[in-house]
Chains A and B, each alone.
Chain A
Amino acid sequence: MFLAMIDVLYFAWVRERIGLPREQLQSSAVTVRELVGELIAREARYAAAFADLTSLCVAVDQVLVDFDAPLKDAREVAFFPPMTGG
C-alpha cells in the first residue's frame, strides 16, 4: 500500500472543532472522500467536524474541488466551511 505525506489544513470552525490549523499525515487515500474517512476514524473531534460534508468545502493544492476528487500527487488538502468574503 502506497502511503503519501499530505499537509492537511483546517480553517474557520473546522479548525476550531479539530483543534489545530494544520497537520502532516500519511495517507493511502485515493480520493478526498477516502481521506475524510481516515480522519473520521481517528478521533471523535474529526467525526464532529466532518459530520455533514454538504456544509464543507475542500481545496486540493489550493484549488477548489469536490469530495470525489482524486488525491494523486496532492501535497496540500484544505477543509473549510463555505467562504464568506466580500
Chain B
Amino acid sequence: MAVRVQSEPFDAGAELRAFSTAQINAGAVVTFTGIVRDQPENPLAFMEIEHYPGMTQKALADIRQTACARWALADALVIHRFGKLTVGEDIMMVATASKHRKDAFEAAEFLMDYLKSRAPFWKKEHAKKGTDWVAQRAEDEAALKRW
C-alpha cells in the first residue's frame, strides 16, 4: 500500500528497510520523517491530529500520483498518523525511490509541501498554557508556488 492513514505508531526504520528492499531498478531512496517537537517555552503534553476520513486517503493518493507523473519515480510511500501523539513520536513519513537521486529528492520535497497544505489534517497542541490549533504558516502556502 503506497498511502497509509493510521492512528497506530509505525516503525520508520522498518518501513524504510522494506521500501528500499522492494526496489529493483532504483539507485536512490530519499525519506523524510516528521516528528512531534516540544516547545521549551510552553511544554507540550500531547498533540492531537484530526483528519477528514474519506477525503484524506484520496487527497494523499492524488498528491502521490501527481509526484509519480512528474518525476521518474520507481515508487513513493506516504504514511500519516492521526489521533493523540506525544513529543518525539513520528507523525508521518514519505519515501521516494528513483534511478538517480535528483528525482527522489525533488519528489520528496514536493510531497512534503503538498502534504502540509493540501492534505486534510489539523493539528491541535495541548500544552501547559492551554490548547491551540496550529495555524497554517504563510511560507507553507507560498512553498506550493515553486512547483
**Which residues on A are within 8 Å of B, measured CB to CB?**
9, 11-13, 59, 62, 64, 78, 80-86
**Are A12 and B117 neighbours in the complex by a CB distance under 8 Å?**
no
Is the Cβ of B54 less than 8 Å from the Cβ of A83? no
Count B-side interface residues using an 8 Å CB cutoff. 26
Q: Which residue of A lies closest to B112 (CB)?
A: A86
Chain B interface, >50% SS class: mixed
- From residue B132, how far is it (CB to closest CB) to chain A in Å? 10
Residues of B within 8 A of A (CB): 34, 50, 52, 54-55, 58-59, 80, 91-92, 112, 115-124, 133-136, 141
A84-B52 contact in complex given A12-B133, A13-B133, A64-B118, C-beta closer than 8 Å: no
User: In whole angstroms, what is the CA distance A13 to B123 when docked?
Assistant: 10
- By the criterion CB–CB under 8 Å, are A9 and B134 in contact? no
Residues of B within 8 A of A13 (CB): 133
Q: Chain B contacts of A78 at CB under 8 A?
A: 52, 55
